[in-house]
Structure 1
Amino acid sequence: MSIYLGLMSGTSVDAVDAVLARFEPDFELLASHSKPIKPALKQRILALAGASMYGVDDFGLLDRELGELFAETATELISLSGIPASRITAIGSHGQTVRHRPGQGFTLQIGDPSRIAEQTGLTTIADFRRRDVAAGGQGAPLVPAFHRWLFHAPDEDRVIVNIGGMANLTCLAADTNTRVTGFDTGPGNALLDEWIYREQGLTFDANGDWASAGQVIPALLESMLTTPFFHQSAPKSTGREQFNWHWVEHHVDKLSQTASAADIQATLTELTAHTIAEAVKWLPLSSPTLFVCGGGVHNGFLLTRIADRLPGSRITSTAELKLDPDWVEAAAFAWLAWRTDRRQSGNLPEVTGAGGERILGAIYPA
């Protein structure tokens, strides 16, 4: 039984998630572990991701430090699981995205895979996105290929909705003649987390309770929805380069009245709910079931707002499909490592817009 280790740090920059999984003869999640990213390191990552210019030394140091953090997370997972490292075929590491500009032909993730391989003694496969970009694709989202492999059902139309820092979805029609569709819908948790941190010093809005105490500001929501990204056709992907606090301030500053902090949080929550729901309505499906994963699954108020906008759809989590919603993305990069190790493609050209299927990632041998 070949076992693969997946490492994931997303746009929220809150933790490195790690899983051990096998993919044959059937999928099984064997162990999981999450290592928080310390606030000081998180702020340096966000500074690098948000800067138009940044020192090369600073970039190199962060690349090294994140490689060490990823390696530590993998080592801790192996120790906690009780599974000998000798049984693990390879690590699949997503890295930490610090710049994503497919329109300019590049995407950049850091977290030195050479250091991961060196410190763990395990073959490490990383840098999954750039080959897709080189082939003319967005390089994201990549997880729809994994969603199709694991979650497709011949008797139910499904939409897998990942709500991380950004949100994306995968359309899995029961009819296999309907092509798989997947794309980013816009902000997920990133702006909600940033605003509550600025106002209350908290890292997230637990269950959406603060947002639920506010009122949506229609003029602010309408202004934000004029952003061209929301009206672009797929394939498309986005990140903090587009949706960041400067973008929010630009729209808040246009308001003719002062808005309360809770009302801004309510409006940002409604923005996420609205853009996800509108994306689902655009899909060629009638009342699909939505399976939610990512950190947003824990925001009950957000899920209620999505449900209110999609009254014909049932909303649940991927736990119903036997995969805890907190571990879907890390499992996806373990799966991508498995695919690369077998010299099989990992992208879906119909999702990313690439010129064809490609074997993704670079291999750093043990």
Structure 2
Amino acid sequence: MMMTAIGLMSGTSLDGVDVALIETDGKRVRAFGPSGYRAYTEGERGLLRQALAEAVTLSTREARPGILREAERAVTIAHAEAVAAFTAQHRITRENIDIVGFHGQTVLHRPAQKMTVQIGDAAALARSIHIPVMHDFRAADVAAGGQGAPFVPVYHRALAQSLEREGPLAVVNIGGVSNITYIDGADTLIACDTGPGNALLDDFMFRVTGQPFDCEGRMAAQGAADEAWVARALQQPFFALPPPKSLDRNDFASLELHGVSPADGAATLTAFTAAAIARIVPLLPKAPQSWIVAGGGARNHTMLRMLRERLAPATVEAADALGWSADAIEAQAFGFLAARGLKGLPLSYPATTGVPMPMTGGVIARP
């Protein structure tokens, strides 16, 4: 049975809420609907940065001390506003939506301690939008010993099946963290985080220029990457580990660059992201013949150029070039995952998150 789902995603880059409509039965995608975006205000972003800093002391998933309670309320309101604006703009009635997939805002991800915390009050959101909300997608996986990330691979597989490409294919999503999905036919699905995405670069740009990110990679294009720094950074133990593996946004925060020009710093951190993605190739069963780039990094022309250099002779394409939405793909994925969750289909697998067996997940909050 086909369902109409809305997916909501607020990623580690703290930029805002992505909204996307999708028609799916949880196995294949019948149609993409419209997508939308609700940016976080500077105040909300500041609140979330504080929440990330304070979340490191959390000892239980449910606790919301101090600023975390305020941040959770802000996240919930932002998502409710995003849904209201989206449905009004596209004249969608709530009766026509079967489920909303609500990821929430990750403030802590420590799978080794069986802890993953996404803030956002799903019950309050469901009451506000009058639509059932599926949330807390990662908890069951982490509780069972999985990495709890990445969760989009099953959606990447559904998309890739429609392309009918020869040979192994990799979808790389470059958000705050970069992750890949390796797809080889219907049987082989492997996924993992590869290293930093835009997080280090965004933080550097904000610190040295006041800009939230390197628009289209223009700053990096004017600089020269410090390849010795990149090589040293790649000696971190994480990069030699086989998949599945996952990261927290701030796991590489200690690798800061100091005393470099903005252009050289941006070039170096962009090169680090590209090199970390290329570093996964020897750890895969076969080298992918084609790479599809989604997420914010797909709009960074310098990032794409560096990926093409490091992944040659494989092809590297932006998701938009295939008719996919680089911006909405993760939001679409959580609509798709909500439909799978409703049907009790697995959301994660041993080769995507390291969970012992295929795991269902998600909790429903009803209005």
| Unaligned ranges ≥5, structure 1 | none
Q: Any idea what SS the aligned residue of 1:47 has?
A: helix
* Structure-2 separation of matches of 1:163 and 1:26: 22
Structure 2 residue 181 is matched with structure 1 residue 180: no
| Unaligned ranges ≥5, structure 2 | 59-63
Write the deviation string for residues 38-65 of structure 1: whole angstroms up to 9, x where unpaired.
1221122122213334770321121122
Q: TM-score, normalised by structure 2?
A: 0.92
Per the TM alignment, residue 90 of structure 1 is displaced from its structure 2 partner at its CA by 1.0
Structure 2 residue 23 is matched with structure 1 residue 35: no
Q: Any idea what SS the aligned residue of 1:6 has?
A: strand
- Supply the AA of the counterpart residue of 1:259: V
* Structure-1 separation of matches of 2:7 and 2:138: 15
Aligned length: 356
Per the TM alignment, residue 278 of structure 1 is displaced from its structure 2 partner at its CA by 1.7
Aligned counterparts, 1:195-206, within 5 A: 195-206=204-215
Aligned counterparts, 1:125-136, within 5 A: 125-136=134-145
Per the TM alignment, residue 91 of structure 1 is displaced from its structure 2 partner at its CA by 0.5
Counterpart of 2:61 in structure 1 is: none
Counterpart of 1:248 in structure 2 is: 255
Aligned counterparts, 1:118-267, within 5 A: 118-152=127-161, 153=164, 155-174=166-185, 176-177=186-187, 179-244=188-253, 247-249=254-256, 252=257, 258-267=259-268
Deviating more after overlay: 191-200 vs 138-147: 191-200
* Structure-1 separation of matches of 2:110 and 2:260: 32
* Aligned 8 A contact 2:140 2:361 in 1: yes
Counterpart of 1:279 in structure 2 is: 280
Distance change in 2, residues 1:6/1:105 (3 Å): same
* Aligned 8 A contact 1:50 1:240 in 2: no
* Aligned 8 A contact 2:243 2:351 in 1: no
Q: Any idea what SS the aligned residue of 1:67 has?
A: helix
- Supply the AA of the counterpart residue of 2:175: G
Deviating more after overlay: 66-75 vs 313-322: 313-322
Identity %: 35
Per the TM alignment, residue 154 of structure 1 is displaced from its structure 2 partner at its CA by 6.0
Structure 2 residue 51 is matched with structure 1 residue 44: no
* Structure-1 separation of matches of 2:125 and 2:109: 23
Per the TM alignment, residue 26 of structure 1 is displaced from its structure 2 partner at its CA by 4.2
* Structure-1 separation of matches of 2:37 and 2:212: 16
Write the deviation string for residues 92-120 of structure 1: whole angstroms up to 9, x where unpaired.
01110000000111100011111110100
* Aligned 8 A contact 1:100 1:241 in 2: no
* Aligned 8 A contact 1:29 1:323 in 2: no
* Aligned 8 A contact 2:127 2:366 in 1: no
Counterpart of 1:269 in structure 2 is: 270
* Aligned 8 A contact 2:182 2:288 in 1: no
* Aligned 8 A contact 1:162 1:168 in 2: yes
Q: Any idea what SS the aligned residue of 2:327 has?
A: helix
Per the TM alignment, residue 337 of structure 1 is displaced from its structure 2 partner at its CA by 0.6
* Structure-1 separation of matches of 2:321 and 2:275: 24
Q: Any idea what SS the aligned residue of 1:168 has?
A: strand
- Supply the AA of the counterpart residue of 1:334: G
Match of 1:81 among 70, 78, 90: 90
Deviating more after overlay: 199-208 vs 291-300: 199-208
Per the TM alignment, residue 287 of structure 1 is displaced from its structure 2 partner at its CA by 4.8
Structure 2 residue 74 is matched with structure 1 residue 62: no
* Aligned 8 A contact 2:22 2:29 in 1: no
* Structure-2 separation of matches of 1:191 and 1:34: 23
Q: Any idea what SS the aligned residue of 2:13 has?
A: coil
* Structure-1 separation of matches of 2:226 and 2:141: 39
Per the TM alignment, residue 200 of structure 1 is displaced from its structure 2 partner at its CA by 1.4
Deviating more after overlay: 106-115 vs 232-241: 232-241
Counterpart of 2:12 in structure 1 is: 11
Per the TM alignment, residue 349 of structure 1 is displaced from its structure 2 partner at its CA by 2.2
* Structure-1 separation of matches of 2:227 and 2:351: 35
Deviating more after overlay: 347-356 vs 104-113: 347-356
* Structure-1 separation of matches of 2:51 and 2:222: 34
Per the TM alignment, residue 281 of structure 1 is displaced from its structure 2 partner at its CA by 4.2
* Structure-2 separation of matches of 1:157 and 1:201: 40
Q: State the Cα RMSD in Å.
A: 1.7
Q: Any idea what SS the aligned residue of 1:296 has?
A: helix
* Structure-2 separation of matches of 1:144 and 1:287: 15
Distance change in 2, residues 1:98/1:43 (3 Å): same
Per the TM alignment, residue 320 of structure 1 is displaced from its structure 2 partner at its CA by 4.1
- Supply the AA of the counterpart residue of 2:38: K
Write the deviation string for residues 103-151 of structure 1: whole angstroms up to 9, x where unpaired.
1111000111111101001100000001000111000001011111221
* Aligned 8 A contact 1:287 1:312 in 2: no
* Structure-2 separation of matches of 1:59 and 1:88: 30
Q: Any idea what SS the aligned residue of 1:248 has?
A: coil
Per the TM alignment, residue 317 of structure 1 is displaced from its structure 2 partner at its CA by 2.2
Q: Any idea what SS the aligned residue of 1:180 has?
A: strand
